[in-house]
Structure 1
Amino acid sequence: MIALLVLGGPMALTQIIQFSIYTIDTIMIGRVGTDALAAAAIGTVIYFLLWMIGAGPVSAVTPMVSQSIGTTIGKPGLDARRDARRSVRMALWLVTLLTVPMFGFLLFAEDVLIFFGQDPEISRMAQDYVLVLAPGLPFALGVMVLRNFLATLNKTMVPLVLVTFSVLINAGLNAVLIFGLLGAPALGLIGAGIASSISYCLCFVMMASYVSLDRDGRQFDVFRNLLTFDRDRFGELVRLSWPISVTTLFEGMLFNAAALVMGAIGVHQLAAYQVALNVAAMAFMLPWGLAMAGATRIGLAEGAGDAEARQRAAQTTMVAAVGGMAVIALLVTLLPTQIAHIYMRPNDPENAATIAFILTFLPIAAAFMIFDATQLVANQLLRGLKDVTAPMIITGVSFWVIGFPLCYYLGFYTEFGPNGVWYGLMSGLMAAFIGLGIRLLQRLRVPPRPPELRQPDQDSPDLNPA
């Protein structure tokens, strides 16, 4: 447990701080007005659709690098360093290549949102927002690729500092560009998108510099021959990452589709959903960070062929992540009014209806946080074992055969109304936890394959330039 917390604590805190960019945006945009907040909500639906596609290569870095390093004893040898370098390099390639079609899609965001029944003016505002937010997307994904690589080396504290610094930059730029401080024009929603893109770019530059300068990180020389295409490793990365991307899409689009259902019900319900979901997503960062650490540790154990360490990593990750989420859920249940007033001005009559829905949504959101944490941990641990296809199928069935139909039916055709959308989300997460939990138990019963022990001369030259 101590080893997990030493690795996972900074990772969880980094996730929370990095996601706080969106929380800061939501809080500051909420000061602009309900329309701006609603536009940010559905604009984020589009933005995170693209982010989830890029999540595959980002997440694939952890099992590929950790299992490579786990096959060696002690300090990673030349073969392990070269193998890790190939994985990181091709992950950056894949993230970059994916951004071209992603940016093209954003040009039609307004039309897509109107097609799904959203208010035309809110849809126009949302497209403007995502177009200025989009340039930061490849840098945000690149930051996560490098962070996952560093985590396999137990390097988590400096990334935490760098991400914190970038969030502070974002907050300052938000104040200047949203509200027009220091003589700058007040750009409102557009200013929030510009600030986020700039902060992501700066964070990537800082992270890449650290990887190149750190004593352990520079031994892997991950930017060596960066422009050289590695077909075999690229193909392996695609095979591992596409089920992860699809799984992430299944989950993320469930929440985004629920936002569209809320938007069709009403603007106030959509704005309140954005706030409650932002609170739940911020809480989600704690178990996500711990689960990523667990995926790293279980991947190292798998590479080393250590079944006992693998089992221990799974148990401690689940206990730590779910326990932490339970504490947060309790606080959300006890303090809904205080949380709502952070996001919306309580004395503004125009915000009264939105705040009323927020107070209704938050206790329900707190309940499904527990199921969200459990299914997340099971999924991440399976990824650490390079088990991605079965979890993709389980997630798809849970969220889109069970979860979304219930969201739609309960939201439109029952007296639950907008609350029913949350009950549908909870049902999908519960089904995912059951399915993924069973899959993880089955997978842990299979003995790991013995590693190919490789201990090349550490001082010999790396003859292969890849």
Structure 2
Amino acid sequence: MSLATYTKEFSYNLRLAYPIILGMLGHTIVGIVDNVMVGKLGPEELAAASLANSFVFVAMSLGIGFSTAITPLAAEADGEQNIEKGRSVFHHGLYLCTFLGFFLFVLVFFAKQFIVFMGQPQHVVALAKPYLDIVAFSLIPLIIFQGYKQFADGMSETKHAMWATILGNVVHVILNYLFIHGIWVFPKWGIVGAGVGTLASRILMVGYMHYKMKRKPKFHPFFEGFSLKKMEKEINLKIFRLGAPSSMQMFFEVALFTGAVWISGRLGIANQAANQIALSCASFTFMFAMGLGVASTIRVGNQKGLGDFKKMKIVAFSIFLLVILLEIFFALLFVLFHKQLPYLFVDMNNFKDVTANTEVITIAAQLLLVAAVFQIFDGIQVVALGALRGLQDAKVPMYITFVAYWLVGFPVSIYLGLFTDLKAVGIWIGLLAGLTTAALFLYLRFISLTTKLIQEKH
């Protein structure tokens, strides 16, 4: 195969992926906006938001990871032009996502009692708890939104979720500003105000997504005949068997980064705040790769439905190449601007905290250099996972991600972070080790499966 075989797929890949990327960025921007606006209140408030969001991100990873099972099943039904199969996937997927949203809220609500045992500063814990309650409740509309989004993505209709997320973010920024600072008639709630803005924006996103999909003729057949009595155990189990391992894959990665938040918290407020700044930047660029990962799920799922495994391999390789080029570009930006980016998250005009903020900026600049390298491997692993999800291969990738993140990455983070002078930088070297391991073995898994499928057909 010549290089042109793969590069000619770039245009379609990007057309499919860019609305997904913008939608993914929307989820991340919610957290970044909270961090930027709360960070202006002071380093303690930023550390509290970081601590609370670490709990929510773990739960969110389970919900979003589970919902990704809907995309390959919808893409396969779309490839087969099977309306009945698509309707079943939509109804059962939305039902399971709604149940899961409520379950995750209850889980986080009661799990927050364990914050006091995590060695975090007491005043940071006190600030984090009320904010955490509100953002945890926002998981309900968020996971329901994911049910709509993942089905629409699987049907190659990726723009609705993009517009929903853009609208949600505009509302989020406005409400944050009003409620954090108490502008006009609105109460001054500080960090809690950021939680209220997040909740309101996510409720709006669900309403918009339902309205737009219900109006589009392509989706009309899929809204027909919804009834709880028609929920079939067999279909629920099929989605669960694909969704549960997918959920755990995302959980293992997010939990690794959450572990980094907790370890950095034991090193002090400056390290924790710096970790959150670097994580916000890295999360932003990761969403581009994650969008391409969803595109790989859709395209591989379509080719699976068509039974064209040679084309499937070409499509997947074109996305691998695209994500590597994109992440190298972002890596260069991180290297060039690693000293400037942290200033976006702190208020250097606040003379009371100027010494603490200077330390935060210094540490965050070092972390961004490590982030520049690891995001290349992060991009490869998420696209490989997406391709494997398109093949409806979830169990083995779950084991691979567990080993990579928890038997390789986390132990390295703990040792270098807590027992060497590298501290926060050491934690991020552990993240790099885990992501590199995952990228290598997930890629090899995809090569093995597609080669086998091609040989069996011929």
Partner of 1:461: none
Q: Give the TM-score of the pair, scaled to structure 2.
A: 0.93
Partner of 1:456: none
Q: Does 1:19 align with 2:21?
A: no
Partner of 1:146: 148
Question: 1:448 offset after TM fit, Å?
Answer: 6.4
| C-alpha distance in 1 between matches for 2:181 and 2:365 | 27
Q: Which moved more, 1:305-314 or 1:339-348?
A: 339-348
| C-alpha distance in 1 between matches for 2:154 and 2:62 | 23
Q: Which moved more, 1:98-107 or 1:261-270?
A: 98-107
Q: Does 1:30 align with 2:45?
A: no
Q: 1:136 aligns with which of 135, 138, 149?
A: 138
Q: Report Cα offsets for 1:143-179 as digits up to 9, x if no partner.
A: 2222222123322233322221111011100110111
Contact preservation (8 Å) 1:132, 1:193: yes
Contact preservation (8 Å) 2:105, 2:139: no
Question: 1:269 offset after TM fit, Å?
Answer: 0.3
Q: Please tell me the residue identity of whatever aligns with 2:414.
A: Y
Q: Does 1:378 align with 2:380?
A: no
Q: Report Cα offsets for 1:281-304 as digits up to 9, x if no partner.
A: 011100111110111000000111
Cα 1:343/1:406, change in 2 over 3 Å: same
Partner of 2:401: 395
- Unpaired segments ≥5 residues, structure 1: 452-466
Partner of 2:360: 354
**Any idea what SS the aligned residue of 1:337 has?**
coil
- Unpaired segments ≥5 residues, structure 2: 1-8
Question: 1:449 offset after TM fit, Å?
Answer: 11
Cα 1:448/1:399, change in 2 over 3 Å: same
| C-alpha distance in 1 between matches for 2:272 and 2:263 | 8
| C-alpha distance in 2 between matches for 1:336 and 1:179 | 30
**Any idea what SS the aligned residue of 1:182 has?**
coil
Partner of 2:53: 44
Cα 1:227/1:20, change in 2 over 3 Å: farther
Question: 1:429 offset after TM fit, Å?
Answer: 0.5
Q: Report Cα offsets for 1:396-426 as digits up to 9, x if no partner.
A: 0011111000000001112212210010110
Contact preservation (8 Å) 2:93, 2:147: yes
| C-alpha distance in 2 between matches for 1:351 and 1:223 | 57
Partner of 1:194: 196
| C-alpha distance in 1 between matches for 2:325 and 2:147 | 27
Q: Give the TM-score of the pair, scaled to structure 1.
A: 0.91
**Any idea what SS the aligned residue of 1:387 has?**
coil
Q: Which moved more, 1:212-221 or 1:153-162?
A: 153-162
| C-alpha distance in 1 between matches for 2:270 and 2:179 | 25
| C-alpha distance in 1 between matches for 2:302 and 2:101 | 31
Contact preservation (8 Å) 1:110, 1:123: no
Q: Report Cα offsets for 1:300-338 as digits up to 9, x if no partner.
A: 001110012211221111111221122112111111232
Question: 1:224 offset after TM fit, Å?
Answer: 2.6
Cα 1:6/1:110, change in 2 over 3 Å: closer
Contact preservation (8 Å) 2:101, 2:141: no
Partner of 1:269: 271
Cα 1:244/1:347, change in 2 over 3 Å: same
Partner of 1:464: none
Contact preservation (8 Å) 2:30, 2:198: yes
Contact preservation (8 Å) 2:75, 2:156: no
Partner of 1:366: 372
Cα 1:313/1:400, change in 2 over 3 Å: same
Q: Does 1:338 align with 2:344?
A: no
**Any idea what SS the aligned residue of 1:415 has?**
coil
Q: 1:322 aligns with which of 321, 324, 329?
A: 324
**Any idea what SS the aligned residue of 2:339 has?**
helix
Q: 1:432 aligns with which of 418, 438, 453?
A: 438
Partner of 2:259: 257
| C-alpha distance in 2 between matches for 1:450 and 1:69 | 24
Q: Report Cα offsets for 1:71-116 as digits up to 9, x if no partner.
A: x2xxx2xxx2221121122222222222344233333344312212
Equivalences for residues 67-86 of structure 1 within 5 A: 67-70=76-79, 72=80, 76=81, 80-86=82-88
Q: Please tell me the residue identity of whatever aligns with 2:325.
A: G
Contact preservation (8 Å) 2:282, 2:375: yes
Contact preservation (8 Å) 1:180, 1:186: yes
| C-alpha distance in 2 between matches for 1:324 and 1:143 | 28
Question: 1:57 offset after TM fit, Å?
Answer: 3.0
| C-alpha distance in 1 between matches for 2:294 and 2:240 | 20
Q: Please tell me the residue identity of whatever aligns with 2:126.
A: R
Question: 1:18 offset after TM fit, Å?
Answer: 3.4
Q: Which moved more, 1:190-199 or 1:339-348?
A: 339-348
Question: 1:365 offset after TM fit, Å?
Answer: 1.2
Q: Please tell me the residue identity of whatever aligns with 1:69.
A: D
Q: Does 1:10 align with 2:16?
A: no
Q: What is the total number of aligned residue pairs between the two structures?
A: 444
Question: 1:446 offset after TM fit, Å?
Answer: 2.0
Q: Report Cα offsets for 1:215-256 as digits up to 9, x if no partner.
A: 212232267336642211111111111111111111110000
Partner of 1:214: 216
Contact preservation (8 Å) 1:89, 1:222: no
Q: Which moved more, 1:156-165 or 1:249-258?
A: 156-165
Cα 1:449/1:164, change in 2 over 3 Å: farther
Q: Which moved more, 1:260-269 or 1:218-227?
A: 218-227
Q: Report percent identity of matched pairs.
A: 28
| C-alpha distance in 1 between matches for 2:420 and 2:316 | 40
Q: Please tell me the residue identity of whatever aligns with 2:254.
A: G
Partner of 2:418: 412
Q: Report Cα offsets for 1:184-226 as digits up to 9, x if no partner.
A: 1111111111111110011101101111110212232267336
Contact preservation (8 Å) 1:110, 1:124: no
Q: Report Cα offsets for 1:255-300 as digits up to 9, x if no partner.
A: 0011110001111100110010011001110011111011100000
| C-alpha distance in 1 between matches for 2:343 and 2:124 | 23
| C-alpha distance in 1 between matches for 2:439 and 2:245 | 18
Q: Which moved more, 1:115-124 or 1:268-277?
A: 115-124
Q: Which moved more, 1:437-446 or 1:348-357?
A: 348-357
Q: Please tell me the residue identity of whatever aligns with 2:194.
A: A
CA RMSD, 1 decimal: 1.8
Q: Please tell me the residue identity of whatever aligns with 1:286.
A: F
| C-alpha distance in 2 between matches for 1:307 and 1:292 | 18
Partner of 1:300: 302
